[in-house]
Amino acid sequence: NIDSVGWPICGEIDIMEQTGANKNKILGTCHWSANGNNASYGLESDISNASSEFHVYSMEWTETYIKIFLDEVEYYEIALNNDLPFNKDFFLILNVAMGGTLGGTIDSGFTEDTMEIDYIRVYQ
């Protein structure tokens, strides 16, 4: 419902966020609105060879929690309640942050890069 209520009221679930400045750290994060301001809860996990090998990022999402995993190891959990917006359809977000407060300074020589995704599966 981002078109009708806007962000962050609609909520956001980042299954994987990788900062542009540190490719060996990933984050799982949920964002929502607290009185019109961005509220979030995120945790990070260290990862080696994130840019040279495939890894499995996964999420379990129930009525009572969201859990995020890296290579089948849970590193994030948030308990859900009726005050949080995580009871509607969402986009699947795998994010490589560039610029801004999360992505850091972009190298002036940067021209392009590639993010390869082997597959996305959704089970219900």
**Backbone phi, psi, residue 100, to 5°:** 70, -165
With beta carbons less than 8 A apart as the criterion, state whether 70 and 47 touch: yes
For residue 47, give the nearest of 16, 4, 77, 12 by alpha carbon: 16
Catalytic-role residue among 12, 53, 60, 77: 12
**Euclidean distance between CA atoms 105 and 94, whole angstroms:** 20
Active site residue 72: no
Active site residue 74: no
Active site (catalytic) residues:
12, 17
